Structure 1
Amino acid sequence: MDYNTWPRVFVVDVEGNGAQPPDLVEVAAIPVDNGRPDSSAARSTLVRPPRPITQLAVEVHGITNQAVASAPPWAQIGGQVRADLEGAWIAAHNAHVDHGVLLRHLPGWQPAGVLDTLRLARATYPHARGHGLDALIKHTGIDLSAVPGQRHRAAYDAHAAALLLLHLAGHYVSWTALVAAAVPPGLPGHQ
């Protein structure tokens, strides 16, 4: 895979407050540059949601209402997130979720395309024991020891998904082949 042929790609992850539909409590985006996640250009921020974080959501990601009490509301950071992602491809594990939440929070925004590492992993490793992010990290042997943070936090999960994306991309000969395997029907970039 020639990573120089890739367009601008950001691996994203969002964490929500547990409401339906969810309000954002954390968003992260890490660019992929020359076949590596670019940690120096990564962005991650807590977001103060308009509704409280449910206890179930706190049990998943550990972000409490107290932790976001002084965080900016979406209205203050949404413009920067839009600017970062404008014209770029996004990638995420189970991308329908992240794309849907971002689309709801960024009306009128449309990424150039959406890569789903879950879909890509199922195509690449159809016989893996599981296709959740944890199972795939274990299956592939990707080393996350240098990734700061903790699982189920947006920055950590985006970085882990970026490493998974790059690992999986190594099984494809071109960007076109990768897109054919990774873009879910109905999402931007589907061929």
Structure 2
Amino acid sequence: MNDESWPRLLVVDVEGNGATPPDLVEIAMLPVAAGAPDTAAAGAWLIRPPVPVTPFATRVHKLTNADLADCPTWTEVADEIGRLLDGAWICAHNASVEYKVLSRHLPNWKAAGVLDTLRLSRATLPDVPKHNLDALIEHLRLDLSQAPAQRHRAAFDAFATAVLLLRLAEAHPTWDALVEAAVPPGLPGAPKPEAPPTLW
């Protein structure tokens, strides 16, 4: 695939505080350009949530309330993050989660489109038993030696998802073919169904 034909694309990952609905405690955004993750232009933010982080959430991403005590609130970073997301496609693993959380936090934002590497992996690798991120990292032997932080932190997971996206995209010859395989129905960028034929 000619990666230069891709629109502006940000691989995103978010971590939450374990509340229902979740408040953000971390967000990472990693541009993909010229067929590679653009780590020089990546951004990551730690956020102090209005509701404390639950013990379960801390066990997943290792972020404690003490870690976040001096971090900015969402209100303090929302405008910056909204500007960066404006007009871009986003990509995430199980992207409906990131899309819903970001849409709730940024009610005036709408993604240009949403690629889901979970959906893409199921279309591209139907015989793989599991399609969670860990299983795909192992199955494809993805090189994550340059990934920052560790698994279940937003920057690491965004990097892993970007590498996964680029590997899976090799099986789809055009951007339109990638969109067909990777955008969940009902999310921005989903191909519109063909109109039924008419007599006229």
- TM-score normalised to the size of structure 2? 0.95
> In the TM superposition, what are the counterparts of 1:127-142 in structure 2 within 5 Å?
127-142=127-142
Residue matched to 1:36: 36
Residue matched to 2:109: 109
Question: Which deviations, in whole Å up to 9, do the C-alpha atoms of 1:50-84 show, x marking residues without a partner?
Answer: 00000000000000000000000000101111100
The structure having more radius of gyration, on CA atoms, is: 2
Residue matched to 1:25: 25
Note the C-alpha offset of 1:141. 1.2
Note the C-alpha offset of 1:146. 1.7
Residue matched to 2:75: 75
Other structure's SS at 2:180 match: helix
Determine whether 1:160 maps to 2:137. Answer: no
Residue matched to 1:4: 4
Determine whether 1:190 maps to 2:190. Answer: yes
- Give every structure 1 segment of 4 or more consecutive aligned residues whose post-TM-superposition deviation is greater than 3 Å: none
C-alpha separation in 1, matches of 2:129 and 2:144: 20
- One-letter identity of the residue aligned with 1:90: I
Note the C-alpha offset of 1:129. 2.1
C-alpha separation in 2, matches of 1:107 and 1:162: 26
Residue matched to 2:177: 177
What are structure 2's unaligned runs of at least 5 residues? 192-200
Residue matched to 2:61: 61
What are structure 1's unaligned runs of at least 5 residues? none
- One-letter identity of the residue aligned with 1:89: W
CA-based RMSD: 0.5
Residue matched to 2:93: 93
Other structure's SS at 2:126 match: coil
Other structure's SS at 1:114 match: strand
- One-letter identity of the residue aligned with 1:130: K
Alignment size in residue pairs = 191
- One-letter identity of the residue aligned with 2:162: A
Residue matched to 1:124: 124
Other structure's SS at 1:188 match: coil
C-alpha separation in 2, matches of 1:139 and 1:177: 23
Question: Which deviations, in whole Å up to 9, do the C-alpha atoms of 1:17-70 show, x marking residues without a partner?
Answer: 000000000000000010100000000010000000000000000000000000
C-alpha separation in 2, matches of 1:113 and 1:74: 23
